[in-house]
Structure 1
Amino acid sequence: MAQQKTQIVVVGGGAGGLELVRKLGAKFGRKQHDIILIDRNLTHIWKPLLHEVAAGSLDANLDEVGYGGHAVRWGYRFFNGSIESIDRTARTITTAPLHDEHGEEVIGRHTIRYDYLVLAIGGISNDFGVPGVREHAMFLEDRPQADRFRQKLLNACLRTNHAHQTGDADACVRVSIVGGGATGVELAAELYNAAKALRHYGLEVFDETKLQVSLIEAGPRILPALDETLAMKAKQELENLGVHVLDNTQVTRLEDRAVHTGSGAVIEADLIVWAAGVKGADEITTMSDLELARGNKIVVRPTLQTVTDDRIYALGDCASCMLPGREQPIPPRAQSAHQMASLIFTNLVRAQEGKPLKDFVYQDHGSLVSLSRFSTVGSLMGNLVGGRMRVDGWIARTVYVSLYRMHLIAIHGWWRGVGLIMLGHVNQIVRPKLKLH
């Protein structure tokens, strides 16, 4: 009888999950291991780029990664689906039925066994129980949502352009963004970048002056991950573009085309984007008996094994990892997912070799926020200055761009990654500046 292969199942093809299966496939191959990636989407796009997709500045068709082709290249299998439940006793997971856009079943409920299971299912926007958020706001959690926002934005711009041509000089596109973190700030700036270019794409009388963007933050200032000086610089840059930055402003409820605040003010908006926080997906509470922390996040040990089951790991936005000596869990950032994926790869290898597992050591490389082509601000952690180093301007922009290049190398390997970086430079020259379809 043939020996059963060791089966490692990774659920979620985000930055951490996709990097992990590439490393596992390259390490083990298909002879004695069966590496399986499960994701509800067919393609991957780096989540920090979604604000550019939403504004039309980035054509996701050129930058996304097809899981099927990537799997063939790196020696793992891809299964299109989403996790429904985990049976820890039988060591199996069940995926939910997959339906097409017409509601017809494509793939039925499916059971997949595992020897080791890695949950990298990401997170969703935290609405904090604010009434009307799910009904009236849009989110930027994945590409379909970014595409939906882009189409609604373009339709609003077309209506405004037509209104000006027919004599309505006051017509404008009003966008309210709730949440002054990196996503909200970057989207606000990118919208003005796109608006500046629209007149070259058939909207003859539309420009950035026809755009009104409000950035609403409940805290005392935007970008709390940066120090106050850099946050103030970013705020000034946004206000110079025309963004109305509202800090210390609590949103109490959303209605159709209206944001209600704690002061009683009502901000009218044609489009509302909710970017106010991250929590674990709601289905985590029903899929298993894994211990959860606040915000539906899976509690893991420093080895990134769940505290409930040593054969189940979690990484990225869905994991709650409290390391010794820290007062807060590891923050939900792309760099966290990358570092966690590297450690889980090491620990999966060591577990199969019977060696003790290593603990996670988080290296905070700082935070960078891109204000589109206008500016980039942030901070880096380094030995050069014995701690946090402020950066902005072209230095910060160069480092910001290099983060995506590092991501490409992490998921494609050095040779293919460098080739795609070079191809990206060519595409910047030859492809249109905006995607309007």
Structure 2
Amino acid sequence: MKSKASHRVVIVGGGAGGLELAVRLGRRYGAGVVTLVDATPFHVWKPSLHEVAAGTIDIHREGLSYAMLAHDNGFRFVAGRMTGADRAARQVQVDALRDSDGEEVLPARTLPYDTLVLCLGSNGNFFNTPGAEQYAVSLDSTASAERFRIELLKAVARKGRAGAGAAVEIAIVGGGATGVELAAELHEAGRTLAAYGLGVEAVPRLDMTLIESGPRILGPLPERVADAAREELVRRGVRVKEGCKVLEVAQGSLRTSGGDLPADLFVWAAGIKAPTLLRDLGLPVNAVNQLVVDDRLRTEDEAVYAFGDCAAAPWQGKTVPARAQAAHQQAAYLARVLSARIEGRSPPAEPFAFRDFGSLVSIGHAEGVGTLMGGLAGRRLLVEGWVARVMYASIHWSHYATVLGWWGATMRSLAQFFGRRSRPRVKLH
């Protein structure tokens, strides 16, 4: 039932957590209370950006329109990029919306708020590595993932003119989940591209090198999970270099502590940082621009909350990890907190408590590895193969079930399954 409350909640950032929060509140209070701001017109689940980059999913089919979601779930959607906030006047500044030619579609706007929630996600952290920002692509948005996909197709076409035996050399910097998943997805994409032919004399191989500066890939996960992932990547022909630091990125080559490597394409997946915009709000931030929040996800300003990748929330003497499951849990918690604020009630007494249910890593559409928290035994359970892959897919499904409802998410999955028979397995345009 929609409330007639006058409290205005502005949520900036329509990622996994921000969209789920807008849906939860919008269904209850309506568009007069809940506003979602995002710079893009549609939503794609960020953990699937490696599939966008490889072309194995199409953002124009996968993407969910924010305008549609707003209509169906009772919140208001404002398209545009946040440029700042006047905390004294409680107003958010939203930049003009422009088309690809730079023509203004919507003017700059100012949105008043009573509660501001910031969930702006994160960007790639190049750690001031020379040439990295210029030549490498960081998979932190649908735009960057699409840019890499186009560059990949162009590189395949160029190398294809060289005839049989040619290869597109791809360097992936960072052996975390994103780097590992991208390497596996590109392996599958390469086999599909070879099968299609693409109208070139000979489709080149995709030769990949995964570079990790730490002692092993998937550092936050148990060693046996990392070993299983490494073994599977090597079996698929991926070169895995651990304990190797990237010193400089140049056009066509990479200088590392283990020597120079040739590369046609570079992907940077070595770390994250929050948008620099957050430093201009006059609120405490950490070294990677994340807003410092308390155990109730509140900043120093009691009217401003933050969660997801852009926030540093306390957890067991460190901070909540930047994972989709954390954003999902924080959105559910904040829905209760903000409902109390909207209705003028006392907020929940308990602080936010992150529950780590383990991590799963996709290493292709039929394989996966990961750990689940053994709640009864108090230990971690290793899962591998198709079991891990099914669990990984179920996490994806649960996000869309929150946004679309159980029936909507199920119909979407069925449409994807049957639609694969009428379109290429890799996006070719």
The 2-side partners of 1:230 and 1:313 are apart by 35
1:2-39: per-residue Cα shift (whole Å, max 9, x none)?
Answer: x9832110000000011111111111124xx4211100
User: More deviation in 103-112 or 46-55?
Assistant: 103-112
The 2-side partners of 1:431 and 1:156 are apart by 22
- The amino acid of 2:392's aligned partner reads Y
- The amino acid of 1:316's aligned partner reads G
Extract unaligned runs of 5+ from structure 2. none
1:381-406: per-residue Cα shift (whole Å, max 9, x none)?
Answer: 13243221111012111101101110
The 2-side partners of 1:19 and 1:429 are apart by 31
Equivalent of 1:401, from 393, 399, 402? 393
Kindly report which structure 2 residues correspond to 1:57-76, keeping only aligned pairs within 5 A, or say none: 57-76=56-75
- The amino acid of 1:10's aligned partner reads I
- Shift, 1:255, TM fit: 0.9
SS in 2 for 1:118: strand
Asked whether the 8 Å contact 1:230–1:378 carries over to 2, the reply is: yes
Aligned to 1:293: 286
What is the count of residue pairs matched by the alignment?
423
Equivalent of 1:271, from 265, 268, 282? 265
Asked whether the 8 Å contact 2:5–2:33 carries over to 1, the reply is: no
Asked whether the 8 Å contact 1:257–1:272 carries over to 2, the reply is: no
SS in 2 for 1:236: helix
1:152-209: per-residue Cα shift (whole Å, max 9, x none)?
Answer: 1111112222211xxxx442100000000011011111111011111332347656x7
Kindly report which structure 2 residues correspond to 1:11-410, keeping only aligned pairs within 5 A, or say none: 11-30=12-31, 33-164=32-163, 169-203=164-198, 206=202, 210-263=205-258, 265-286=259-280, 288-306=281-299, 308-323=300-315, 326-351=316-341, 352-357=343-348, 358-373=350-365, 375-410=367-402
The 1-side partners of 2:380 and 2:131 are apart by 39
SS in 2 for 1:293: coil
User: More deviation in 422-431 or 250-259?
Assistant: 422-431
SS in 2 for 1:187: helix
- The amino acid of 2:388's aligned partner reads A
- The amino acid of 2:17's aligned partner reads G
- Shift, 1:229, TM fit: 1.0
Asked whether the 8 Å contact 2:366–2:389 carries over to 1, the reply is: no
The answer to whether the aligner puts 1:412 opposite 2:404 as a matched pair is yes
SS in 1 for 2:296: coil
SS in 1 for 2:318: coil
Extract unaligned runs of 5+ from structure 1. none
The 2-side partners of 1:297 and 1:291 are apart by 8
- The amino acid of 2:347's aligned partner reads P
SS in 2 for 1:21: helix
- Shift, 1:285, TM fit: 1.3
1:290-339: per-residue Cα shift (whole Å, max 9, x none)?
Answer: 11112100011111111x1111111100000013xx13200000001101
Across the aligned residues of Structure 1 and Structure 2, the Cα RMSD in angstroms comes to 1.6
Asked whether the 8 Å contact 2:5–2:29 carries over to 1, the reply is: no
The 2-side partners of 1:172 and 1:136 are apart by 19
- Shift, 1:220, TM fit: 0.3
- Shift, 1:434, TM fit: 1.3
TM-score, normalised via structure 1 length: 0.93
- Shift, 1:108, TM fit: 2.6
SS in 2 for 1:154: helix
Asked whether the 8 Å contact 1:198–1:206 carries over to 2, the reply is: no
- The amino acid of 2:293's aligned partner reads V
- The amino acid of 1:156's aligned partner reads A
- CA pair 212-199 structure 1, distance change in 2 beyond 3 A: closer
Asked whether the 8 Å contact 2:252–2:262 carries over to 1, the reply is: yes
The 1-side partners of 2:376 and 2:323 are apart by 23
The 1-side partners of 2:389 and 2:294 are apart by 35
Asked whether the 8 Å contact 1:212–1:243 carries over to 2, the reply is: yes
1:385-435: per-residue Cα shift (whole Å, max 9, x none)?
Answer: 322111101211110110111011011122222222222222234432111
- CA pair 283-206 structure 1, distance change in 2 beyond 3 A: farther
Asked whether the 8 Å contact 1:188–1:213 carries over to 2, the reply is: yes
User: More deviation in 97-106 or 184-193?
Assistant: 97-106
SS in 2 for 1:222: coil
The 2-side partners of 1:121 and 1:197 are apart by 35
- Shift, 1:105, TM fit: 2.7
Asked whether the 8 Å contact 2:22–2:34 carries over to 1, the reply is: yes
Asked whether the 8 Å contact 1:199–1:205 carries over to 2, the reply is: no
The 2-side partners of 1:125 and 1:39 are apart by 19
- Shift, 1:373, TM fit: 2.9
The 2-side partners of 1:12 and 1:20 are apart by 10
SS in 1 for 2:288: coil
User: More deviation in 336-345 or 354-363?
Assistant: 354-363
The 1-side partners of 2:228 and 2:279 are apart by 40
The 2-side partners of 1:170 and 1:432 are apart by 24
